[in-house]
Amino acid sequence: MASNGLKFALFLGCVIPNRYPFIERATKAVFGKFKIELIEMEGASCCPAPGVFRGFDIDTWLVVGARNITIAEELGVDIALMCNGCYGSLLEVNHTLKHDKEKKKMVNEHLAKIGREFKGTAKIRHVIDIMYHDIGPEKIRNRTKYGRKVPLNLNLAVHYGCHLVKPRDIRPWDNQVENPTFFDELVEISGCKSLNYKDKFMCCGAGGGVRGAFKELSLDYTREKLENITAAQADAIITGCPFCHLQFDLGQVEVNNIFKDKISAPFSIPVLYFTQLIGLAMGMKAEELGMIRSPDLKGVPPFTPVKPILTKIGESA
């Protein structure tokens, strides 16, 4: 593949490859259009998840996280990833090990048993970060301007997710924490409007092991977010994280079910990963962005149909 010099190791994590593979597909397709080379990280594992596994044993979390990073270090490139959870984990692991000599020593003693060594040569980048800082809004705008005959013109509810922006210390958003705008900027390049809605920056409820252990609690967050998003009359929810994505997509079905008596009407708001939206704006086909369902498969996402969006923008579904 021709490259513009930008080359990353693509870290998949768990939810994307094993539950939401269309996020992988759409991201690879869109990055291809910008001639960014994405190399597979063979043998990568769970990041491991920052809420659960870190909550069980911090040292194990550091060791396994470091192993994932060593795969990219061996490839000699930085890591690109699509998940806020993986971002939180690997960013924090990388930062800790670069600055804490003792922890690094501990980690490398364990890694030695599988013939690996953490060096600290790779950077951890979220695809939103790469889009915003490396490709840049200007370049994306140039690609989207003539991508479609009719601009998308949707009203969108952007969901940032927590680990994308917090804690602020080691993240590239120039102290944007309480009221960030960078994701909205990116989304609005597609020709859509990014809505303000109540508690826009609130957590989706999935993280920290809460979804795993206390599903009702986690879905109550989601219910509140969905109510606020509905109040703002959004056409779709835009995510930058597969776990938030799952929580809104599958979670919507679950909320409609368990909070039947609490909600005024069942929710049905399409959920899109942001690379899918950018792809659409660039004139890419719904098919190559993974937005067409397989007629044969049951029990696979999207659980909340995205078809209304495709219909609305005049894409054949």
Partner 1 sequence: MVKPKNGIKITGREPPKIGVYICWCGINIGGVVDVPKLCDYSRSLPNVVLASEYKFMCSDIGQGMIMEDIRAGKVNRVVVASCSPRMHEETFRRACEEGGLNKYLFEQANIREHCTWVTMNDIPGATRIAKDHIRMAVAKAGQLKPLEVTTVKVEPATLVVGAGIAGINAALDLANSGYKVYLVEKSPTVGGHMAQLDKTFPTMDCSSCITTPKMSEVARNPNIELMTYSEVVALDGYVGNFKARIEKYPHYIDQEACTGCGHCVDICPIECANEFELGMKPRKAIYISFPQAVPGEYTIDMNHCIRCGICKEACPTDAVHYNDISEYVDIKIGTIIIATGFDPYDAKRLEQYGFGRHKNVINALQMERLLSSYGPTEGKVKRPSDLKEPESIVWVQCVGSRDFTGRGKKYCSRVCCMYATKQARSYKEKHPNTQILIFYIDLRAFGKGYEEFYYDAAKNYGIKFIRGRVSEILEAENDNLIIRAEETMLQRPLELEVDMVVLSIGLEPREDIDDIARIFNVTATKTEDGFLMEAHPKLRPVDTLTDGVFVAGNVVGPKDIPDTVAQAKAAASSAATLMSRGEVEIIPYYAMVIDHKCAGCKSCIGLCPFNAITFNEIESIAEINDILCKGCGTCVAACPSKAIIQNHFDDVQILPMIEAAIPKKSQKEEVKVE
Partner 2 sequence: MEIIKTNKITKISDDLSNLLRDAGYLELSACIQCGTCSGGCPSGRRTAYRTRSLMKKVQLGLKEEVLSDKELWFCSTCYTCYERCPRGVPVTDVIIYLRNLAVQEGYMQAPHLALCKMFYDTGHGVPINDNFSQLRKHHKLSDLPPTTHQFPKAAKEIQTLLKSTEFDKLTGVGDYEKKEDKKGG
Residues 253-312 that bind partner 2 (CB under 8 A): 290, 294, 296-301
Contacts of partner 2 in 51-70 (CB under 8 A): 51-60, 63-64, 67
Our CB check for partner 1 shows the closer of 157 and 291 to be 157
Contact residues toward partner 1 (CB under 8 A) are 177-179, 198-199
- What the block records as the tokens of 229 is 């998003």
The backbone torsions φ and ψ at residue 156, rounded to the nearest 5 degrees and listed phi first, read -115, 145
Query: Which residues in 102-161 contact partner 2 (CB under 8 A)?
Result: 110-111, 113-114, 116
Beta bridge partners of residue 11, listed in sequence order = 81
Helix (H, G, I), strand (E, B) or coil at 157: strand
Q: Is 229 in the site for partner 2 (CB under 8 A)?
A: no
Residue 26 vs 192, nearer CB to partner 2: 26
List binders of partner 2 among 189-228 (CB under 8 A): 199, 202-203, 205-210, 212-214, 217-218, 220-221
Which positions ≥6 away from 46 have C-beta within 8 Å?
A: 13, 14, 53, 64
Tokens 């809505």 -> residue: 195
Measured CA to CA, the distance from residue 8 to residue 39 in angstroms comes to 6
170 contributes a contact to partner 2 by CB under 8 A? no
The residues facing 194 across adjacent strands are 156
CA atoms within 13 A on the CB side of 308: 13
Task: Read off φ and ψ for residue 104, nearest 5 degrees.
Answer: -65, -40
Look at residue 59 and give the partner it binds from partner 1, partner 2, none, a contact being a CB closer than 5 to 8 Å depending on partner kind: partner 2
User: Which residues form the interface with partner 2 (CB under 8 A)?
Assistant: 12, 14-15, 17-19, 21-22, 24-25, 40-46, 48-60, 63-64, 67, 110-111, 113-114, 116, 162-163, 166-168, 177-178, 199, 202-203, 205-210, 212-214, 217-218, 220-221, 290, 294, 296-301
